[in-house]
């Protein structure tokens, strides 16, 4: 691992300019996603906090979609840093990942996959974010899974057991290194 990767900070990553328009023209993000990103990216924390209060699940949906569909390391680091910053400012925002409006999204999968991919910054942020999302999950009631989808849902969703197992395996691997 190159030394500069190990020492990258969230602030350094967030100074980057990500070509969101290019991702839209190549259909990796939607027009709505681009609008949300333009509204949110490079704005003051107080302004972003208001956007998240008003429409948090929409932003979570865009962030998770990017992590699922875009594999460019610089962009992945950037979006993970945006999420990390969002959750560091207010850990209760982890509940947004369980909102009913994104119940059909597998919000765990991109982070779980990234635990084993990429550099230390990507792995460390994925672990931190996953831990917060898992701890904010709603309790299971009346056949509804922790992801918010009903248990007879046709779409495959990452089970909480898989997430916890993945986190433990990743943490164990880090201790052994």
Every domain of the chain and the residues it spans: 3-176
pLDDT value at position 17?
96
Mean local confidence (pLDDT), 23-52? 96
Q: What percent of the chain has pLDDT over 90?
A: 66
Q: Of 65, 1, 79, 83, which Cα lies nearest the Cα of 28?
A: 65
pLDDT value at position 163?
86
- Reported as a single tens digit per residue, the pLDDT across 50-62 is 999 999 999 999 9
What band does 176 get if pLDDT is binned at 50, 70 and 90? confident
pLDDT value at position 164?
86
How far apart CA 22 and CA 32 sit, in angstroms, is 14
The H-or-E segment that residue 86 falls in is: helix 73-89
What band does 167 get if pLDDT is binned at 50, 70 and 90? confident
- Sign (positive/negative) of CA torsion 72, 78, 79, 80? positive
Mean model confidence pLDDT for the chain = 87
90 pLDDT higher than 80: yes
- Reported as a single tens digit per residue, the pLDDT across 106-165 is 999 999 999 888 799 999 999 999 999 999 988 765 555 444 444 444 456 788 888 888
Q: What percent of the chain has pLDDT over 70?
A: 86
Residue 141 φ then ψ, to 5°: -140, 140
Tell me the whole-structure pTM to 2 decimals: 0.84
What band does 105 get if pLDDT is binned at 50, 70 and 90? confident
pLDDT value at position 150?
46
pLDDT value at position 85?
95
């Amino acid at each position: 691992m190159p030394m500069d990767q190990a020492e990258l900070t969230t602030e350094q990553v967030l100074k980057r300019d990500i070509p969101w328009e290019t991702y839209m023209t190549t259909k990796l993000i939607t027009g709505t996603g681009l609008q949300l990103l333009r509204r949110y990216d490079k704005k003051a924390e107080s302004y972003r906090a208001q956007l998240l209060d008003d429409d948090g699940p929409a932003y979570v949906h865009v962030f998770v979609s990017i992590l699922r569909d875009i594999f460019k390391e610089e962009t992945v680091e950037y979006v993970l840093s945006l999420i990390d910053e969002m959750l560091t400012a207010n850990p209760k925002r982890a509940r947004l990942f369980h909102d009913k409006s994104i119940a059909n999204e597998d919000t765990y999968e991109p982070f779980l996959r990234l635990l084993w991919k990429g550099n230390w910054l990507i792995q460390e942020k994925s672990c931190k974010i996953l831990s917060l999302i898992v701890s904010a999950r709603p309790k299971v009631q009346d056949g509804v899974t922790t992801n918010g989808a009903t248990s007879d849902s046709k779409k495959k969703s990452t089970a909480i057991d898989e997430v916890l197992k993945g986190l433990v395996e990743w943490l164990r691997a880090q201790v052994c290194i």
